[in-house]
Amino acid sequence: MRFLKHIIVIVAFVFTIPSFAQDIELFQQFNGRYDYTAIGNTLNPFENNLDDSFCFPLESSSATLNLSSSATVVAAYLYWAGSGTGDTNVTLNGLSVDAVDTYTVDYSEPLAETLTYFSCYADITDFIISEGNTLYELSDLDLTDTLTNTPGFCNNRTNFAGWSIYIIFEDSTLPLNQLNLYQGLEIINRNNQEKTITIDNLNVIDNEGAKIGFLAWEGDNNLNFGESLSINDNILSNPPLNLSDNAFNGTNSFTNSSAFYNADLDVYDIQDNINIGDTSAVIKMTTGDFDEFGVFRADLIIINNIVTVLNSQLPDATIVLDDYIINCGDRSLAVDYTVFNTNSTDHLPANTPLALYADGVLVGQTQTQNDIPIDASESGTITITLPDTIDDIFLLTLVIDDDGTGNGIVIEINENNNIDDELIELLVIPPIQILPNEIACNEGFNSAAFNLVELFENSITTELEVEFYETIDDLESNINAISNPEAYSNTSNPKTIYIKVYNPPCYDVYQFDLSVENCPPYVPEGFSPNDDGTNDWFNIQGLYDIFEDHKLKIFNRYGTLIFEGDNGKKWYGLINRGLNNHGKRVPVGTYFYVLDLNDVNYRPLVGWVYVNY
């Protein structure tokens, strides 16, 4: 009699002790022409509830894989389980296999030690592909220390060990299916008599041929009190192997064996238990009831994984941010992206919307251009402009199948993988640095020649590329750079010059002002108006087109005004004032001038000039 399993109902109601486990959750999903099979074997020589002659499991057991020649293996997972906290290394056909992960659950009864059970799994895809159809033998699952040092396992007859391999394969003769593999480790027992597991990420297009499979441990054929397995409140059964009141009874549906002691590797047809359009299903397991003598009895059942195979024809849109281009000081950026339709069973339709968010704010929208076939993709580029309310450092998020309000318009296999994002920092131009201004003498019409390169190098030493601009807009737009900065003439007075120094990934900006002032004119002491082409006029340098409002008066030695000139009338030695001799040249001699510059900074200049021929 299994005392701890079959304790009377009064104790069960007074002491309720929780069990701890890892929730059964979606582990892998396969979409396409996929199905699965499973092999495995127990390491118990008998059902431990009926035969108490053994404690330790067998050293090894074997099972044969026999896949169709049209099937191509795409994934294979090895599971092994038993009493205790776990043996994480086993041998499969001479291959040493280490666990990728180990799940554990605890079972406790009042006044008794807590018993822990484990399950390990490993990805052995490459090994199964290389070995193919053959006999697989698992060995070196060693529970000796556990069973020796924790007598409660054998005394309670919950000593077990076993293994299984799940093989997912592709076959062109299959319909388009969605295969979901859920795994973890959950327990039901006399203290927790009911377990509900909701499996999601389903999409039922056609329920024909739908099936569900389970891998469970420690079930006993002889303990069928209150035991049930249901999906969506429909009791599952597979008689004569699995009865509606004894689902976990040491059977293997793949080999039709009832000698899979204290383990269950079962698969059920659920065509009539699931509906087209369902996106989830509720699995419920129960155990525990009174026997004919009024004693409360319950099986201990440990669920390791669940597999569903459902006909499904849907796309699965995903997106990747490939690249982006940011210009210095620009709040616009060009975003390159690729929309994928992998792990799907139907094409992704054209015009599937794409939304772009900056820190959660919608900043751009576009859509796919063409139907995207299964396992294909489409790339695109969109330019977005960020509002000033977005920080210079922000999270850019791309969401495919999003109409800009967070809602999609395409039903997909997986609605939770439509996002890609990246933290982006705008290239902010540093503040403009002000350099010393430059003043030059007016060379005419408030203009002068400047060597901008030399002026800049007097303040800044750099080996980086430098360009000069007349406006900050031209600098930022990278247009109309000054073509000959070594000989630049200003077009206004004063004139601001902007300098761009390329300093990847951005650039630095400098500026200085060019100013022109009227410098003192130079008055020559003589000239020779003889029309020989040399020194033919009274050339006062720094006067004409500089002091544009000046007045020039020439007097002879007797003080008689003989000439009046201005910016448009130069003195070639001819008389234009007085009663006589208009238009005639003056004789050789000394003449006197009064030059009124009409400039508040200068007084009139008075002097003499000698005329000779």
> Are 411 and 456 within one domain?
no
Residue 20 has pLDDT above 90, yes or no: no
> Are 448 and 397 within one domain?
no
Asked whether residue 479 is domain-assigned, the answer is yes
d(CA 168, CA 213): 13
User: 321: which 2 tokens?
Assistant: 């941010």
Q: Average pLDDT in the 244-259 region?
A: 93
- pLDDT tens digits for 59-87? 999 999 999 999 999 999 999 999 999 99
Asked whether residue 2 is domain-assigned, the answer is no
Q: Average pLDDT in the 472-485 region?
A: 94
Q: Single out the residue of 49, 300, 27 nearest to residue 187, CA to CA.
A: 300
Q: What is the CATH number of the domain that holds 513?
A: 2.60.40
- pLDDT tens digits for 481-540? 999 999 999 999 999 999 999 998 889 999 999 999 999 999 999 999 999 999 999 999
- How many structural domains does the chain have? 4
Q: Average pLDDT in the 342-350 region?
A: 90
d(CA 154, CA 148): 9
Q: 223 pLDDT band (50/70/90 cuts)?
A: confident
d(CA 435, CA 495): 14
Print the domain residue range for 534: 523-613
Per-residue confidence (pLDDT) for residue 6, from 0 to 100: 31
Asked which of 404, 425, 446 is the last residue of a domain, the reply is: 425
d(CA 98, CA 90): 7
> Are 399 and 488 within one domain?
no
Instruction: Tell the residue number behind the tokens 């430098």, with chain if given.
Output: 466
Q: Which contiguous run of DSSP H or E holds residue 82?
A: strand 72-83
> Are 65 and 130 within one domain?
yes
Bridge partners (DSSP) of residue 170 are 34, 72
> Are 76 and 200 within one domain?
yes
Residue 97 has pLDDT above 70, yes or no: yes
Q: 278 pLDDT band (50/70/90 cuts)?
A: confident
> Are 172 and 29 within one domain?
yes
The answer to whether 178 touches 36, Cβ cutoff 8 Å, is: no
- Please state whether 128 falls in left (phi above 0), alpha (psi between -120 and 50) or beta: alpha
Asked whether residue 19 is domain-assigned, the answer is yes
Asked whether residue 170 is domain-assigned, the answer is yes
Q: 9 pLDDT band (50/70/90 cuts)?
A: very low
Asked whether residue 495 is domain-assigned, the answer is yes
> Are 145 and 268 within one domain?
yes
Asked whether residue 105 is domain-assigned, the answer is yes
- pLDDT tens digits for 436-460? 999 999 988 889 999 999 999 999 9
Q: CA–CA distance from 358 to each of 321, 353, 425 (Å)?
A: 14, 17, 11
> Are 374 and 457 within one domain?
no
> Are 342 and 227 within one domain?
no
Asked which of 380, 401, 425 is the last residue of a domain, the reply is: 425
Asked which of 282, 311, 340 is the last residue of a domain, the reply is: 311
Q: Average pLDDT in the 242-264 region?
A: 93
Residue 201 has pLDDT above 80, yes or no: no
Asked whether residue 78 is domain-assigned, the answer is yes
Asked whether residue 1 is domain-assigned, the answer is no
Q: What is the CATH number of the domain that holds 386?
A: 2.60.40.10
Beta strands in 84-205 (DSSP E): 89-92, 95-98, 101-107, 115-123, 135-139, 161-170, 177-188, 194-199
> Are 358 and 505 within one domain?
no
Per-residue confidence (pLDDT) for residue 206, from 0 to 100: 63
> Are 194 and 222 within one domain?
yes
> Are 165 and 62 within one domain?
yes
Residue 111 has pLDDT above 80, yes or no: no
